[in-house]
Amino acid sequence: MQQPRLFTTLPDYVSTPDGMAIDLEGNLILACPNYADLSMPGCILKIDAQKKIRKWVDVPVSEETGHAFPMGIAFGPDGDLYICDNQGWSEAPELVFKGRILRLRIRDDRVVKTTVVASGMEHPNGMRIHRNHVYVTHSKLSRVKDPSGFLVSCVYRFGLDDENIRITNTLEDTSILTTFLTYNKAIQYGMDGIEFDKAGNLYVGNFGDGAVYKVTFKDNGDVKESKVWAQDPTQLKSTDGMIIDSEGNIYIADFCANAVARVAPSGKVTRIAQSPDSDGLNGELDQPGEPIIWRGKLILSCFDLVTDAQQVNTKHEMPATMSELDLPLA
């Protein structure tokens, strides 16, 4: 396995880094929900080719809660930035069911227009834009009670120009693309990482089951089939963020195990890096949450916050860090 290296430490106004995207100029864009310190505004950073870091914008807060917690992000074809504002991640009663999908128009380092695509969401998490839609993993649908007793989660699909959709977090939501169950009783946490391949097939990770589902589509855009495509608990415990390379390999942040796995186009899962519990200052994987391929490297944001019995991570430390691995891997 490869030894991860330190990509960068983050400024002191960042306590929890998460989702990433690349802008049209090739800069690395990082979303920081900052759950570890709610006094820190949720913000978006810009990192250039020389690794110079600056705050790009603070995310406009919810009028209901006074907070914004950006997790998954993606750029639309017009350059607008779409954001999963996951208000309910901490499960604070006043924040649950307050999540939003935002569309920000940013000019000259200022948010000049904010569109609320959807609101009232329990747990919006990962995001990808494909053709004319934005796809969002929704890690919990606690209002939906399956007869099995297992957690229900889903993927929502919105049009790029949708506005002010009020989500009920029930099966009555017409924006739900498809639903899933999480069978691991020890980790009842659902869909998280999300990615598309060149053929337009959708891949989503069931966090608790450590499973990657492949979703195929009919010509009219409806789901044709959704099934487990890759799963190996000896190589992959949990599936957080994911990214696909030009050869069809999918790299997945294994949040619980402080590790990264690669899933080959055949569906074979291989753990490629793993770290013990640490502060991440030497580049260790300190609860990796999201990967991205940037300038020939695999870059990972280190969430470093959850400390329950399923985690290698035991405490949160500052400064927040990011790790890197070489690509291609042997």
User: Does residue 328 have a cis bond before it (omega within 30 degrees)?
Assistant: yes
**CA–CA separation, 122 vs 99, rounded Å?**
6
Long-range contacts of 305-314 (CB under 8 A, 24+ apart): 305/16, 305/35, 305/36, 306/255, 310/186, 310/187, 310/237, 310/238, 310/256, 311/255, 311/256, 311/287, 312/256, 312/257, 312/258, 312/275, 312/276, 312/277, 312/287, 313/258, 313/277, 313/286, 313/287, 314/277
User: Which pLDDT band holds residue 330 (cuts at 50, 70, 90)?
Assistant: low
Summarize pLDDT for 267-298 with one digit per residue, the tens: 999 999 999 999 999 999 999 999 999 999 99
Residues in contact with 266: Cβ distance below 8 Å, sequence separation at least 6, in sequence order? none
Give the pLDDT confidence score for residue 328 in this predicted structure: 75
Residues in contact with 78: Cβ distance below 8 Å, sequence separation at least 6, in sequence order? none
Summarize pLDDT for 9-36 with one digit per residue, the tens: 999 999 999 999 999 999 999 999 999 9
Q: What is the DSSP string of 84-142?
A: EE-GGGG--TTTTT-EEEEEEEEETTEEEEEEEEEEEES-EEEEEEETTEEEEEE---T
Average pLDDT of every residue of the chain: 97
AA identity, residue 93: P
Enter the tokens of residue 85: 């504002």
Summarize pLDDT for 196-222 with one digit per residue, the tens: 999 999 999 999 999 999 999 999 999
**CA–CA separation, 229 vs 242, rounded Å?**
14
| Mean pLDDT along residues 102-119 | 98
In the chain, what percentage of residues exceed pLDDT 70? 99
Residues in contact with 107: Cβ distance below 8 Å, sequence separation at least 6, in sequence order? none
- The candidate with the shortest Cα–Cα distance to 100, out of 127, 131, 79, is 127
Domain ranges in the chain? 5-326
Its pTM stands at: 0.97
The hierarchical CATH code for the domain 5-326 is 2.120.10.30
Give the pLDDT confidence score for residue 320 in this predicted structure: 98
User: Which pLDDT band holds residue 75 (cuts at 50, 70, 90)?
Assistant: very high
